[in-house]
Structure 1
Amino acid sequence: MRKFGLVLLSFTLFISLARAQQKHTLDKIAAVVGGSIILQSDIELKYATYLAQGNPANPAVKCQIAQSFVTQKLLAAQAIIDSIDVKDDEVDADIDRRMRGMIGRAGSQDRLEQFLGRSVIQYKDEIRPDIKEELIAQKMQQKITSDVNTTPEDIKKFFNTIPKDSLPTFNKTVEVGEIQFNPKLNETEKAYFRAKAQDLLDRVKKGEDMGALARLYSQDPGSSLQGGDMGFADRSTYVKEFTAWAFRLKAGELSPVFETEYGFHFLQVLERRGEQVHVRHILIIPTVTDASLQRAKAKADSVYDFLTKNNKISFSNAAAYYSDNKDTKYNGGMMLNASDVETRTTYIPTDKLDPQVALVVDTMKVGSMSKPLLFTDAAGKKTYKILYLKSSTNAHKANLVDDYPKIKEYATNDKINRKVSEWFQKRRKQTFIKIDPEYQQCTNMKGWASPVDESMVTTTPAEVKP
């Protein structure tokens, strides 16, 4: 099942802003790049998305958006020359990923379609050309920078160009491993919660309204307010047990009560559309018992004793074998820096650590393990953990010895940015670019417009009407 955190308010804001701007803004051509046009409404819609994500109003962002559209058009035009394309299934996969996010924020596909004022199928058809162009532009940029190679000499040279008084200060960073022990209910303890779900299923079968029961009793925060309605989704959306029942049943059929990692469910298929299914469900989440917590602690104590008395097994191997945390057990138990998901680094600033973990790690020596401790996450879930401090670096001014990986990343990004910038400088001199006066005032757009007559444009776009 999906982890739902319904953000309906921000999604509604996104749609409201988009509609308001479509209604009140007289559409115009914001820029022309070769034979392609960029509309004001394109920029406004992307700015609405920016606001809907909780960002503060900032007109300068529109300048950045305008520039991103111009650069995308330039890259896409070069991609045609270089025969760079994306496969239809790549485009479809990206669109489906975006749509799952939008449906999740809206709460259901019906709600999304209501906000959009069109069916999801229609909307996907409308955005498909833009998404394809965006993916092609990304591939083109990757080709431009594919030969970028950062040598140790490049890294040293880049570091030496930074004025000493401008060197960044890095916070204390640590590498922390964990072996997590989740409390697990035995079959006797589970029986009570399974029976609650079965009782609700029996009531539905006797004619009670499933939507009403879901609003009253379902413990899925993302769908209960919608009567358990989860909208349309494909097979990749749910955990395997949920998927198995959702795609096995016919429209109108009810599943029996079944168990997933989230608890006990039963679902009803409302509609099927090709490889997507529309379901509603009711979830009962089992409550951790004192006895299950004690069993988790006993197992954690046992593993800790084994590790401290046996030097033949490494912490990483023990984590892979014993840990219940799927996010870290296959990474040698090492936590990843959640604020830097792209690099998947294990170096975590202490201010980015879970405060409970940071408090424990602060008392540990490098290479040591903590005794099993009880932790409670933001949702109130309790687990026992053994922590391992692999490394620790105090707050300091950047240097090549302690921060080589970070400086290498900065140096590589700088080299990539310069390569891309050089390409754009050359390309934009060879392409007719017209910028609306509103965006010629943007600092980042100065010098982009062609100092030539408009007759150079390959295709003169028709006037855009509101």
Structure 2
Amino acid sequence: MMKKYISLLAIVAFFGVSNLMGQSRLVDRVVATVGSSIILQSDVEMQYAQHLAQGEKPNETIKCYLLQQLVTQKLLSQQAIIDSIEVSEAEVDDNLNRRMQMMVRQAGGKERLEEFLNRSLLQYKEEMRPNISEQLKAQKMQQNIVSAINVTPQEVKRYFEGLNQDSLPYFNTEVEVGEIVINPVLTKEEKDQFRQKAEGYRKQVIDGSDFGTIARLYSEDGSAPYGGELGFATRDNYVKEFSAMAFRLKEGEVSPVFETMYGFHFLQVLQRRGEEVNVRHVLIKSKPTTASLDRAKAKIDSIYDKVVAGKISFHTAASLYSENNETKYTGGMIMNEEDRTGLIPVNKLEAETFTAVDPLEVGKYSKSFRAKDRMGSDVYKFMYLKSRIAPHKANLAQDFAKIQEAAKQDKTNRMLSEWFEQRKENTFIDINEDFLKCDELKLWMTKTGTSLANNE
């Protein structure tokens, strides 16, 4: 029952708004009323269009689910207004830009997406803005409702004992693993080839070439399909070198080539709006040379030799020398992103990590090896296997953290259910009779009709 109420965040984050109105003529109508707000047929069609744009097969029944999510969104966003929960223009812009980038990739290019939408991306973004703002308010409201939820050890125990003991989950082999990572570092001379390439492209722009065309052809950033355009953002959205340059220039001005952790850039300011700026840029990534890789390999092997010889502990070495900021502050230990514990199912490990730790005995270290970090850059690392837990049926002794997370989610579900039940009693909600067949909407309907509650 609770899943019907609480899936808003996942759906709202996944489904953007799109528009089928350019593809078929539709006489709009009200399909639901939630308090003082209405939901139109076109609102449902917008959600459905995004469903199709993401490569899903046509399925009219999904519209029942989409309408249910819109009803949920309206209730949350209306309460957000009452509670003075605000969403900034910067937050809306950031969300819009990320959605646009995802949709362009899925559509296979800007032109194909604009053809599907039957409008320019700039026009589409403005059409999306009110709905995105409402979605973000709904998300913040939901987070506000459940933010203080916690569970005690006694609640975890009661939750576990209340489960069907004959159908408890069976956990795969789990491991605690650590890593020490060294990045290849380029010398000034090695970097010059990349700087010179960026300087050459900048010269083409200064000599009259279109900036957007140069970005599409040569930039190595994800914004290349957009002509390098990043959309409106504040200083905090960028690394300090990029931010300093973006907020220093006047509109239309092209920057000199400058360096960040990503490589060499040059940018152009398109527009300023208060404390926000919209820029486009070209990025040439600084790729490791053979010599820089050799130096990184020698450094990681030196650290490995000290750890294996017992001259320094693994955790101390990770804190002092590892260049992966996600793990160096945990003594090199990799965290399970799903439950934030150190135990990771072996089937969730990256392939190269699994290959390195699978043959190890507990307490041992792998040889160093070349790998890719999350950004796809080359690094050298070696692994440490702290513990290995054999496959087993869920139990409190070995799986307390997982059961605690499940108990917390159950408590969250119940709190959200109670919140929505209270809103049903005090909010007029009416569903169009055409949606009476929808199982997803039955929780909003009364036995005598489609009206769920009446204003007193």
Superposed pair shares fold, TM > 0.5: yes
Per the alignment, do residues 68 and 197 of structure 1 end up closer, same or farther by CA in structure 2, a change over 3 Å counting? closer
TM-score (norm 1): 0.79
Instruction: Assess, with a 3 A threshold, how the Cα gap between structure 1 residues 404 and 94 changes in structure 2: closer, same or farther.
Output: same
Residue 157 of structure 1: CA displacement? Answer: 2.9
Does residue 1:101 correspond to 2:105, yes or no?
Answer: no
Matching residue within 342, 346, 360 for 2:356: 360
Matched residues in 1 for 2:453 and 2:154: separation? 45
CA RMSD of aligned residues (A): 3.6
Amino acid at match of 1:168: P
**Cα distance in 1, alignment partners of residues 178 and 254 from structure 2:** 43
Q: Deviations over 1:380-407 (max 9, x none)?
A: 6422102122332222221222111111
**Alpha carbons 1:30, 1:40 under 8 Å: kept:** yes
CA distance in 2, matches of 1:116, 1:204: 24
When structure 1 is superposed on structure 2, of 278-287 and 402-411 the one drifting more is 278-287
Give 1:319 deviation, angstroms: 2.1
SS of the equivalent of 2:254 reads coil
Trace 1:48-447 onto structure 2 (pairs within 5 A): 48-75=49-76, 84-87=83-86, 90-105=87-102, 114-115=119-120, 118=123, 120=125, 123-124=128-129, 126-127=130-131, 130-131=134-135, 133-135=137-139, 137-138=141-142, 141-142=145-146, 146=148, 149-216=150-217, 218-310=218-310, 313-338=312-337, 340=338, 343-376=339-372, 381-447=377-443
- Relative to structure 1, is the Cα distance of residues 329 and 439 closer, same or farther in structure 2, using a 3 angstrom cutoff? farther
Alignment coverage as a number of residue pairs: 433
Shift of 1:300: 0.5
- Deviation at residue 101 of structure 1 after TM alignment: 1.0
Q: Could you tell me which runs of 5 or more consecutive residues in structure 1 were left unpaired when the two chains were aligned.
A: 1-12, 460-466
Q: Distance in 2 between matches of 1:139 and 1:191?
A: 48
Task: Quote the residue 1:462 is aligned against.
Answer: none
Distance 1:384 1:75, change over 3 A: closer
Cα distance, 1:344–1:20 mapped onto 2, change above 3 Å: farther
- Between 153-162 and 349-358, report the one with greater CA deviation: 153-162
The verdict on how the C-alpha distance between 1:211 and 1:383 changes in structure 2, with shifts beyond 3 A counting, is same
Amino acid at match of 1:166: S
Higher relative contact order (CA 8 A, sep 6+): 1
Distance 1:14 1:425 in 2: 27
CA distance in 1, matches of 2:68, 2:225: 41
Cα pair 1:34 1:457 within 8 Å, conserved: no
Percent sequence identity over aligned pairs: 44
CA distance in 2, matches of 1:86, 1:71: 17
Residues 169 and 142 of structure 1, relative CA distance in 2, 3 Å threshold? same
Distance 1:213 1:117 in 2: 21
In structure 1, the residue matched to 2:48 is: 47
> Please, which runs of 5 or more residues in structure 2 have no aligned partner?
1-14
- Tell me the secondary structure at the aligned position of residue 396 of structure 2: coil
Deviation at residue 20 of structure 1 after TM alignment: 3.9
Q: CA 1:104–1:380 in structure 2 vs 1: closer, same or farther (change >3 Å)?
A: closer
1:18 counterpart SS class = coil
TM-score, L = length of structure 2:
0.81
Query: CA, structure 1 residues 50+326, in 2 after alignment: closer, same or farther (shift >3 Å)?
Result: farther
CA distance in 2, matches of 1:448, 1:120: 32
Answer whether contact 1:91 1:128 (CA < 8 A) is retained: no
Contact 1:432-1:450 at 8 Å conserved across structures? no
Distance 1:332 1:23, change over 3 A: farther
Q: Equivalent residue of 1:242, what SS?
A: helix
Cα distance in 2 for partners of 1:348, 1:136 equals 30
